[in-house]
């Protein structure tokens, strides 16, 4: 009954879903990418929390083919965690930033307090100048759902930064005579 720890190396899919009348979103952490360096391994690209929005197409039905995504960086996650009861924040992303297509697609995610002060509105707007489309999703989030996000995003933040790797190393020993 006591054996060795076994783990799956497969990718994990454990999104947190919030389904509401006009749209739904899911949140899911994506780990950082590492590269090898002489003395160990180094974070090459930070992880993020992927927010995916979809429009409602009927009662409890959502069209995930028409999904739009927004990747929250560690500092954007910090912004969400720092949000006070009536605070709000806005993030702007350009998926083609620093390429020749810069400015063609603009994404913005906003978090605003709901009028009754009990929760927030999470809204994603995607303006695509190439396809001449403008998608907008708005999902009301209760204080309970926001508490789940706050707690799970706090848990995930060290992970997407790569800091959880520090705890999975064997203990380091100090030589006897060193000071």
Q: Applying CB under 8 A, which residues contact a copy of itself?
A: 1-16, 29, 31-37, 39-45, 74-79, 81-82, 89, 142-148, 151-152, 154-159, 161-174, 176
Closest CB to a copy of itself among residues 34, 121 = 34
3-state secondary structure of 75: helix
Separation between Cα atoms, residue 64 and residue 146, nearest integer Å: 22
In angstroms, give the least distance from the CB of 134 to a copy of itself. Answer: 27
In angstroms, give the least distance from the CB of 130 to a copy of itself. Answer: 21
Per-residue CA distances from 69 to 4, 130, 135, 136 (Å): 39, 17, 11, 12
Closest CB to a copy of itself among residues 81, 102 = 81
DSSP 162: T
Closest CB to a copy of itself among residues 127, 161 = 161
Tokens of 36: 């090898």
Closest CB to a copy of itself among residues 28, 135 = 28
Tokens of 139: 């999902």
Query: 86 Cβ partners below 8 Å, 6+ apart?
Result: 113, 117
Q: Please say whether the beta carbons of 127 and 137 come within 8 A.
A: no
Closest CB to a copy of itself among residues 21, 133 = 21
Residues in the chain: 179
In angstroms, give the least distance from the CB of 25 to a copy of itself. Answer: 14
In angstroms, give the least distance from the CB of 119 to a copy of itself. Answer: 10
In angstroms, give the least distance from the CB of 139 to a copy of itself. Answer: 14
3-state secondary structure of 53: strand
In angstroms, give the least distance from the CB of 116 to a copy of itself. Answer: 15
Closest CB to a copy of itself among residues 58, 132 = 58
Location of structure tokens 């720890």: 5
């Amino acid at each position: 009954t006591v054996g060795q720890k076994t783990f799956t190396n497969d990718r994990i899919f454990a999104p947190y879903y919030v389904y509401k009348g006009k749209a739904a979103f899911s949140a899911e952490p994506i780990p950082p990418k590492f590269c090898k360096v002489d003395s160990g391994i180094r974070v090459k690209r930070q992880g993020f929390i992927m927010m995916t929005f979809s429009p409602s197409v009927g009662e409890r039905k959502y069209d995930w083919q028409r999904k739009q995504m927004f990747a929250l960086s560690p500092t954007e996650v910090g912004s969400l965690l720092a949000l006070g009861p009536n605070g709000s924040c806005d993030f702007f992303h350009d998926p083609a930033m620093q390429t020749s297509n810069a400015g063609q697609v603009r994404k913005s995610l906003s978090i605003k307090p709901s009028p009754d002060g009990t929760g927030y509105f999470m809204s994603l707007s995607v303006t695509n100048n190439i396809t001449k489309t403008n998608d907008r999703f708005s999902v009301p989030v209760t204080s309970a759902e926001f508490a789940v996000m706050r707690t799970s995003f706090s848990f995930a933040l060290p992970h997407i930064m790569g800091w959880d790797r520090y705890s999975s190393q064997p203990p380091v020993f100090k030589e006897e005579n060193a000071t």
